């Protein structure tokens, strides 16, 4: 069972295994049709496509009209239904990939663990690693038998905006922001209406989890780097712009052998939806 990362070589050995499902998670935050277009142009053999906006996220507004962020968590049963359509069962080995160093694939990895599914991994190095290994792409779209994925107790914790607010006073937990340093400081914000960060949050850009080859750094290096920020993973909260790239930091923590951190799903986009919530700018 692969539960964090998988190499292109190991995936290639199972690419036609009916007990494995490969999911293409390519996406572009500024061009919402780009991922589906890239999938149509060429994808890993047998791969299905999961859209970040419509499958791996839920409605942006709650029943009371409150803004929940740009990529709120989907309803667990609705998500499971979509994943059953991909052919995923309780025993399926799922492999998620993208062309962005795991930026979007990690979202599916985390969501499946949120549904209580253990056998899910991210293709280390993504599409580039697959092609560098001389492996093929295809435009063929295969049909798969419908799966019977169960919704079980989550393996991963979450926190609400109210818990993050309460933490401003207690300071019992460390908040880690996965966005680029300039956006964290409140500079060059082009996605959300307000720039800055949650007061007290520290910055760990998700791309710092990767080496020059686009693959994840080894466990020892990741552990050393995160230990500068985090004493106890169980007391850590991961956030980003909208709850997507925070999952990359959560994956890196698992690779490092530091499990237990929580995701703040609404992240910065939800936080600034209420002007009464405080905003900090500049370096920590």
Residue by residue, pLDDT tens for the chain (284 residues) are 999 999 999 999 999 999 999 999 999 988 989 999 999 999 999 999 999 999 999 999 988 889 999 999 999 999 999 999 999 999 999 999 999 999 999 999 999 999 999 999 999 999 999 999 999 999 999 888 999 999 999 999 999 999 999 999 999 999 999 999 999 999 999 999 999 999 999 999 999 999 999 999 999 999 999 999 999 999 999 999 999 999 999 999 999 999 999 999 999 999 999 999 999 999 87
Q: What is the pLDDT of residue 267?
A: 98
The CA distances from residue 227 to 12, 149, 151, 216, 230, in Å, are: 34, 36, 33, 17, 5
Question: Based on C-alpha coordinates, what's the Rg of the chain?
Answer: 18
Contacts of residue 18, Cβ cutoff 8 Å, sequence gap at least 6: none
Does the annotation mark 240 as catalytic? Answer: yes
pLDDT at 63: 82
| pLDDT for position 226 | 97
Residues 133 and 5: their CA atoms lie apart, in Å, by 16
Nearest in space to 152 (alpha carbons), one of 111, 118, 120, 116: 116
pTM for the full predicted model: 0.96
All residues at 6 or more sequence positions from 269 whose CB lies less than 8 Å from its CB, including other chains = 67, 69, 70, 71, 191, 192, 241, 242
Query: Rounded to an integer, what distance in angstroms lies between the CA atom of residue 73 and that of residue 243?
Result: 8
Q: Which of 240, 247, 261, 262 is catalytic?
A: 240
| pLDDT of 29 | 87
pLDDT at 41: 97
- Sequence-distant (≥ 6) Cβ neighbours of residue 39 within 8 angstroms: 24, 26, 47, 49
Instruction: Report d(CA 73, CA 84) in Å as an integer.
Output: 18
Classified as helix, coil or strand, 277 is coil
CA angle 237, 105, 35 (to 5 degrees): 125
Q: Spell out where the chain has E strands.
A: 5-6, 20-24, 48-49, 93-97, 120-123, 174-177, 202-203, 236-239, 262-263
Instruction: Please measure the distance between the N-terminal and C-terminal CA atoms of the chain and give it in whole angstroms.
Output: 40
Residue 141: what pLDDT?
Answer: 94
- What is the C-alpha to C-alpha distance for residues 59 and 172, in angstroms, rounded to an integer? 31
In terms of Cα–Cα distance, which of 30, 110, 38 is closest to 70? 30
């Amino acid at each position: 069972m692969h539960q964090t990362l998988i190499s292109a070589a190991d995936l290639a050995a199972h690419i036609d295994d009916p007990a494995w499902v490969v999911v293409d998670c390519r996406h572009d935050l500024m061009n919402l049709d780009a991922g589906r277009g890239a999938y149509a142009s060429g994808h890993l053999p047998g791969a299905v496509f999961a859209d970040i906006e419509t499958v791996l996220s839920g409605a942006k507004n709650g029943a009371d009209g409150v803004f929940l962020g740009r990529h709120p968590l989907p309803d667990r049963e609705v998500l499971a239904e979509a994943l059953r359509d991909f052919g995923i069962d309780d025993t399926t080995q799922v492999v998620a990939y993208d062309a962005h160093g795991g930026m979007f694939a990690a979202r599916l990895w985390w969501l499946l663990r949120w549904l209580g599914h253990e056998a899910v991994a991210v293709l280390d190095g993504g599409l580039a690693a697959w092609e560098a290994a001389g492996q093929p792409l295809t435009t063929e779209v295969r049909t798969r038998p419908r799966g019977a994925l169960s919704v079980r107790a989550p393996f991963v914790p979450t926190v609400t905006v109210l818990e993050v607010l309460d933490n401003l006073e207690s300071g019992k937990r460390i908040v880690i922001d996965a966005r680029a340093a300039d956006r964290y400081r409140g500079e060059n914000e082009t996605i959300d209406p307000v720039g800055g960060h949650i007061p007290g949050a520290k910055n760990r850009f998700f791309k710092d989890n990767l080496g020059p080859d686009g693959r994840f750094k080894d466990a020892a290096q990741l552990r050393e780097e995160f230990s500068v920020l985090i004493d106890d993973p169980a007391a850590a909260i991961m956030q980003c712009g909208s709850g997507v790239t925070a999952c990359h930091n959560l994956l890196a923590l698992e690779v490092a052998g530091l499990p237990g951190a929580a995701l703040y799903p609404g992240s910065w986009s939800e936080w600034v939806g209420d002007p009464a919530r405080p905003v900090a700018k500049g370096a920590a």
